[in-house]
Structure 1
Amino acid sequence: MSDINARDFIKFESINIDRAKDIATRYMAKQYGVSRVEVILTNRCQLNCVYCKKHLAVDYPEYCIPHSIMMKTLKQWFDHGCKFIHFTGGEVSLCSHIYEYVELAHKNGVEVTMSTNGVNTPTTYESLVKKGVNCFHISLDTYDKDIFDKQVGAKGAFEKVINTIHLITELRDKEHYKTKLVLNVCITPETFINLVDILHFMLSLKPDDIKLIPIAQLKNEWTNYERLYDDKIKPKLLQMLIDKNGFDMLKARINSLVKKSFRGYNNKKVVPPCYLSQDERTIDPEGNYYGCYINYREGASPIGNIRNDSFIIQSKKLRKNIHEFTQSEICQKYCADLTVLCNNYIDKQLDELIYDKCYFPNNENKLFYSENSKSYHLRKLFKAGYNIPNYIYGHL
C-alpha cells in the first residue's frame, strides 16, 4: 500500500508527499512539531478590494504582534522544525519589521513566501528579494487595467502591479536571485468566459505558477458551467501548457476548476481529521492562532493566543481540534482542494502504519477495513487520539 493516491497528489510549495508521510509518522508517535507557518502581520492595506474582508485603511495605526514576541516566536518555530513560512496581510510590505523577519527566517534555512498586492515601491520589493523571499504571490484577476483599478479601489494600481511583476522576474532571470512568482487569479462567472485570454496574458508575464481561484462562495453555481468548460475552454487551456514544465498548481486546477471538489468536503459524513492543522500555525495580527487561514478568513473562533500558550500547549490544542475542523461548516464548504487531498493521503498512510504495527491472528488482516473487525475499531480509537498500549496490538 506504499504509494496510495500518489498520482492524485498536488505538489505546491509546502504541500508534498514527503511531508505528508512525515506528518503521519509523527502523529503515530505523538511527536509535536511544525512544518509551516502563516503569519498575518498587519490588517493595514493601501487598497480597498471589493472581496477583501480583513483589511484596514493605510492611515490606521499599525496594530500587530509586538516585535519582541514575534522574534521569540519565530525562533521557537524554527527550533521545532519549521521549514516554510508565509507572510501575508493586509498588505504585508507595510509591516515595519518585515525585513528583519524575512532575514531571520532565511538565515535559519526556512523557505519564505509572501502575499503582496504589488503596489509598493520597487525598492521595497528589491530589498525583500535580497533579504531572502523565495516566492511572491500577487493577485491579478484581469488584463484590463480599468477593471482592475476599479476592483481594488485605486487608480493606477494595475500599472504598479505589472511593474512589480517585471521587477521580480528580472531579478530572477537576469540577476539569478532564487525567487519565484505565483499569480493568484480569482475567477467569477463574469470573467469565466474570458478565461482563455486571461490565462494567455498571465503566462506572458512569466510566472512560475498560476493559482486559478474560482470564488468559493459561488461553488454551487460553478457546476452549471461544466459542459461549456469541458467542451470549449479546458482544451484551449491545456493546449497552452503542452510545452511548459512546472505549473503544477495550474495544471491541477485546470482539471478541477468547475467541480465542487475544488473546495470543501461537501457534506461528506466520513471525513479524515485535519492532520495538516496540527503541523501548521496560522497567526493573526493580535497573536491569535487558528486551524488554518480559511478558518481565520471566514470568522472562526481562534484556538488560543501565542502570547499565552507555549508551543506544546498550542500543539495539544490544535491536535484536540483536528476532528472538529473537518466537520465544521467552514471546512465542509471552503477547505482547499490541496488540503483535502493531503488529509486523505495522510489518513491512508496512517492505515498503513497501523496495519504494519498490528499483529492479526486468524487472518484478520483480510478484515482490516471491515466495520465488524476488531482492527477497524482499534484504528478508529487511535485516529480519535486514544493512546493504544503496545501489548494490545498483539492480542486482537
Structure 2
Amino acid sequence: MQPISVNFHLWKPCNYRCSFCYETMPDIQGNLSLNDSFHLLKLLREAGCQKINFAGGEPTLCPYLGELLAAARRLGLVTSLVTNGARLSQLLASHADNIDWVALSVDSANELTSQRLGRGTGNHVKFSINLFDLLHQHQIRVKLNTVITRLNYQENMSEFVRKVRPERWKIFQVLAIKGQNDGLVEDLLISSEQFKMFIKKHQFLESEGVKLVAETNQLMQGSYVMIDPLGRFFSDAKGYHEYSQPILQVGVDVALSQVQWYTDKFVDRGGIYNWGSQYIPI
C-alpha cells in the first residue's frame, strides 16, 4: 500500500509537558529547513500520499508551518494538524483556507486533571472550547484527541464532547515507548478492560453524529507512517523508535522499507475514511 496518510512530526519543541507523551524525541536535535520540508512534501505526494498530518512536539510553534500548509495545498494534499492549540488562533487568522482538519488534544474535561497530566496550567479545557468554536466558525473539520490514563479512565466526558462537537473522537490507550516516556508513564498505564470501560461509557455519542475511533496499544504500534523532524521515517512497532535513512537522500520507497508499517493495522484502526475538505456540521 502507498503511504496515503503521513504524520510529519516536524517540530520537537512543545509548550506543554504531558507526562504520558510518547513523542518527546530526546534523541533528536534540530529539524528540516523550510526548503527541505517543501521537497519532502513533494516526494511524499509523488509517492501517493493524499493526506499530511502536521504534528510535533507542538506544530503551531513552527514559524513556517503556514508556508508548509500552503505548499501542501498546492500539491493537492489534504492538510491536518494535531495540536494542543498553542498558536492555533494566530495560524487561523492567516492560513485557515489551507487547513482541512484540526485535531485538538484534550484528555479531560476537568481542568485539574488536565493540569495533573501536564496539559497546561489550569485553563486548557476552557482554552480548547474557545478554539473548537473558532474552528467551527471557519468550517474546518475537527477531531478531538484524548489519551486515556489512570487519571481519566473513569471520567464521563459526554457533556464536553457535545459542547465541542467533533466529527471524529480519537481515543487512545496510554502507550509506553522506551526512550520516550519511560520513567514518567508507568503510574498512568491502564488495562485493556479499563480502556474498554471508557469507550463503552461514551459509545452512545455515535448516535449523535460523533464517530468514536478507539485505538488500543496493539492497534497503535506500527500502524502510523511517521516522519521525524530530521526527515526520517520512524516506527514504534517494537516498543521503541526505529529510524530510516533520511528520505531526502534515499527516497520515499527505500526509506519506508527500512521501518515497520503494518498496513492491516492502519486499516483496522480506521486510518482510511472520508477525509475530504467538506465541513460536516454536528
TM over 0.5: yes
The one of 214, 229, 234 equivalent to 1:285 is 229
1:318-342 deviation digits (Å, cap 9, x = unpaired): 4xx55xx66xxxxxxxx9x952737
Q: Distance in 2 between matches of 1:39 and 1:240?
A: 30
Shift of 1:99: 0.9
- 2:32 maps to 1:89: no
- 2:63 maps to 1:136: no
Q: In the alignment, what sits opposite 1:147?
A: 113
Native 8 Å contact 2:12 2:229 kept in 1: yes
Shift of 1:83: 0.8
Q: In the alignment, what sits opposite 1:99?
A: 66
Q: Partner amino acid for 1:194? A: E
Q: Partner amino acid for 1:124? A: L
- 2:167 maps to 1:208: yes
Q: Partner amino acid for 2:10? A: L
Q: Distance in 1 between matches of 2:46 and 2:57?
A: 28
Q: In the alignment, what sits opposite 1:50?
A: 19
The one of 172, 184, 188 equivalent to 2:149 is 188
Alignment gaps of 5+ in structure 1: 1-22, 24-32, 173-178, 266-273, 327-334, 344-396
Native 8 Å contact 1:288 1:304 kept in 2: yes
Cα 1:202–1:342, aligned 2, differ >3 Å: closer, same or farther?
Answer: closer
Shift of 1:165: 1.5
Pairs within 5 Å for 1:245-394? 245=209, 247-248=210-211, 250=212, 253=214, 262-264=216-218, 280=225, 282-291=226-235, 294-295=236-237, 298-315=239-256, 317-318=257-258, 322=260, 338-339=265-266, 341=268
Alignment gaps of 5+ in structure 2: 177-187, 271-282
Cα 1:115–1:125, aligned 2, differ >3 Å: closer, same or farther?
Answer: same
The structure with more radius of gyration:
1
Q: Partner amino acid for 1:311? A: V
The one of 125, 147, 151 equivalent to 1:158 is 125
Cα 1:114–1:310, aligned 2, differ >3 Å: closer, same or farther?
Answer: same
Native 8 Å contact 1:119 1:164 kept in 2: no
Equivalent position SS for 2:35: helix
1:111-138 deviation digits (Å, cap 9, x = unpaired): 11110111325222333322x1111111
Q: Partner amino acid for 2:255? A: Q
1:178-220 deviation digits (Å, cap 9, x = unpaired): x21100112223322223xx12311221111111222244777
1:246-303 deviation digits (Å, cap 9, x = unpaired): x33x0x53xxx8xxxx3327xxxxxxxx7x77xx5x2111222224xx459x532212
Q: Partner amino acid for 1:164? A: L
Q: Distance in 2 between matches of 1:137 and 1:127?
A: 18
Q: Distance in 2 between matches of 1:188 and 1:209?
A: 20
Cα 1:41–1:204, aligned 2, differ >3 Å: closer, same or farther?
Answer: same
The one of 172, 180, 192 equivalent to 1:222 is 192
What is the count of residue pairs matched by the alignment?
254
Native 8 Å contact 1:118 1:165 kept in 2: no
Shift of 1:150: 3.6
Q: Distance in 1 between matches of 2:3 and 2:205?
A: 38
Cα 1:202–1:341, aligned 2, differ >3 Å: closer, same or farther?
Answer: same
Cα 1:239–1:305, aligned 2, differ >3 Å: closer, same or farther?
Answer: closer
Native 8 Å contact 1:42 1:89 kept in 2: yes
Provide the identity percentage.
19
Equivalent position SS for 2:41: helix
Q: Partner amino acid for 1:135? A: W
Equivalent position SS for 2:193: helix
- 2:202 maps to 1:241: no
Q: Distance in 1 between matches of 2:195 and 2:206?
A: 22
Cα 1:100–1:222, aligned 2, differ >3 Å: closer, same or farther?
Answer: same
Equivalent position SS for 1:241: helix
Q: In the alignment, what sits opposite 1:372?
A: none
Shift of 1:45: 1.1
Q: Partner amino acid for 1:49? A: C
Cα 1:205–1:220, aligned 2, differ >3 Å: closer, same or farther?
Answer: closer
Q: Partner amino acid for 1:285? A: P
Equivalent position SS for 1:168: helix
Q: Partner amino acid for 2:8? A: V
CA-atom RMSD, angstroms? 3.3
Native 8 Å contact 1:119 1:161 kept in 2: no
